[in-house]
Amino acid sequence: MQFVVPDLRLASAEIVVLAMACLVLIVDVFVQDKKRTLTFALIQVSLLGAAVATLLTSSGQILYTFNNMYVGDLMGDLLKLCVYVTVSVVLFYSRGYVNDRPQLARGEFYVLTLFATLGMMVMISANHFLTVYIGIELLSLSLYAMVALNRDSVTSTEAAMKYFVLGALASGLLLYGMSMIYGATGTLEITAVAEQAFNGQINRTILAFGLVFLVSGVAFKLGVVPFHMWIPDVYQGAPTAVTLFIASAPKLAAFAIMVRMLVNGLLIASADWQIMFLILSVLSMALGNFAAISQSNIKRMLAYSAISHMGFMLLGMVTGVVGGDARFALNAYSSSMFYVITYVLTSAGAFGMLTLLARTGFESEEIKDLAGLNKRNPWYAALLMMMMFSMAGIPFFVGFFAKFSVLQAVVAAGYLWLAIAAVFFSLVGAFYYLRVVKVMYFDQPVEEARVVAPLGVKVLISANGLLVALLGVFPNGLMWLCAYTLSQSL
């Protein structure tokens, strides 16, 4: 068999990130500065370099390389750019928190972040089931280590162990599902699987069983019921800076592999996986919202909130193909993409505020820790209120239009009962978001010390909050971008 030289230009962003990760790993050994300023700067340069490489190699066409194991398209380019921006912002938010804690203020935190980013990039551009698996494992192994970085904390160590064990189980399910897909189609290349399925040259029974395991693995990465067990414990147990990272960028990569494997590869079996996602979606919205009500720890509350949000996002995936008719597919899938991007934006802002409020020897983790925030810093209280309102789906913040676009796709597909159920669960969720706002504005502060932050972080988190509000007033641009990139990529 003749060896075909791969087009390395397509994967130039991944090459930049890998090379910089190796460079940072070496350079950090010689860094004496406890704040790791050089390491932080190199990471930001890496992300900027990857963004430039992605923009320069974006052609608007669907291109393949590495024997069709890697795909470059507009959807992947948009999601990658969102990942770069999110990771960069997350690191700015985390910097003060990390520097206040010697056990975290090490080069490993930044290097693991970069390797996790590389894993997400591989997941986003995967066109082969094994490439998907490599990306998932690169991301997951980095996250396991990040959760356990604070070795002196029993809670962090316990969370990392739970995450590792459950993650290994999910990886096993995913691999078993992939092996059955291979047994049914004779290939692991996603586009080839689609061709075999379309031509009818498959064993439908084996494919159905493989699909169950495949959906289970994806559901774990999204953190939806009943594969949600790790979410509350990891969110609460991990250092807030790590929770901030886990709660944001990986959601984009999880959405990407869902589209790659199920929409690009197994659209012919959409009737099967849509039913599975329908059950997972309703269960996630129900359990996530009702369980969040009883939480006093805000990180745990936002963890259950994340479960409900991912359930809501799945509604778009449920309504893409109706009775074999794919007319609604683009509208449905683009609404899910819009939802996950805006959720990541809002979640980063909310957890960013928690890292800002934390200080040396104190974690701002309980809802009561936010008491009287309006008196300590009215602007930060207003920003966090924007995040809560957006997550609750209150007009006119971006979260409202994200929910509205998904519900519109659900109703257009004829699932009126599902839209009513989603609205009901959203109303339940509004309670615990508004409770946070009530605590900030109407409870007496435990301490009177004013909340301060470095100028750069102050500007960034203000921009984050204003973007949540601005996209709520002018959502059409991002909505159109999601629809256009998907139309050019599916």
pLDDT digits (tens, 9 = 90+) for 58-103: 887 888 888 888 998 899 999 999 999 999 999 999 888 888 887 7
The pLDDT, as a whole number, for residue 1 is 47
Q: Give 447 or 416, the one with higher predicted confidence.
A: 416
- 269 closest CA partner among 187, 173, 193: 193
pLDDT of 243 over the 70 cut? yes
187 pLDDT higher than 90: no
Least confident of 143-147, 259-263, 359-363: 359-363
Percent of the chain with pLDDT over 70: 98
Residue 6 lies in a domain: no
Q: Is residue 244 part of a domain?
A: yes
Q: Read off φ and ψ for residue 276, nearest 5 degrees.
A: -60, -45
**Cα(111)–Cα(91) distance, rounded to whole angstroms?**
12
- Average pLDDT value for residue range 139-154: 89
Q: Which residues contact 40 (CB under 8 A, 6 or more apart)?
A: 91, 95, 110
pLDDT score for 445: 80
- Cα separation of 70 and 347, whole Å? 30
**Assigned domain for 3 exists:** no
Q: Which of 7-21, 228-242, 435-449 has the lowest mean pLDDT?
A: 435-449
Q: Is a pLDDT exceeding 80 seen at residue 4?
A: no
State residue 362's pLDDT score: 66
Domain that holds residue 34: 12-487
Cβ neighbors of 65 (< 8 A, separation 6 or more) are 6, 7, 8, 10, 11, 72
pLDDT at 361: 58
Tell me how many domains the chain contains.
1
Cis ω for the linkage preceding 66 (within 30 of 0): no
Q: How confident is the model over 241-245, as a mean pLDDT?
A: 91
- d(C-alpha 223, C-alpha 170), whole Å: 11
pLDDT band at 360 (very low <50, low <70, confident <90, very high): low
Give the Cα separation of 481 and 280 in Å (integer). Answer: 28
% of residues, the chain, pLDDT over 90: 42
Structure tokens at 372: 């009287």
**What pLDDT band is residue 458 in, cutting at 50, 70 and 90?**
confident
pTM equals 0.93
| Residue 227 clears pLDDT 70, i.e. is over it | yes
149-156's contacts with Cβ under 8 Å and 24+ in sequence apart are 149/103, 149/104, 149/106, 149/108, 149/109, 149/112, 149/239, 149/242, 150/101, 150/103, 150/104, 150/239, 151/103, 152/103, 153/237, 153/239, 155/236, 155/237, 156/237, 156/238, 156/239
What is the rounded CA–CA span in Å between residue 24 and residue 110? 9
* Terminal-to-terminal C-alpha distance of the chain: 30
Name the pLDDT band for 119 (thresholds 50, 70, 90). Answer: very high
In-domain check, residue 450 = yes
Domain assignment of residue 1, yes or no: no
Cβ count near 396 (within 10 Å): 14
Confidence check: pLDDT of 428 > 50? yes
Distance separating alpha carbons of residues 187 and 68, to the nearest angstrom? 12
Answer yes or no: is 7 within a domain: no
298 lies in a domain? yes
Residue scoring higher pLDDT (256 or 271)? 256
Closest CA to 73 of 133, 119, 126: 126
Whether 4 maps to a domain, the answer reads no
CA distance 282 to 289: 11
- Mean pLDDT in residue range 368-384: 87
What are 12-39's pLDDT values in tens digits?
999 999 999 999 999 888 878 777 888 8
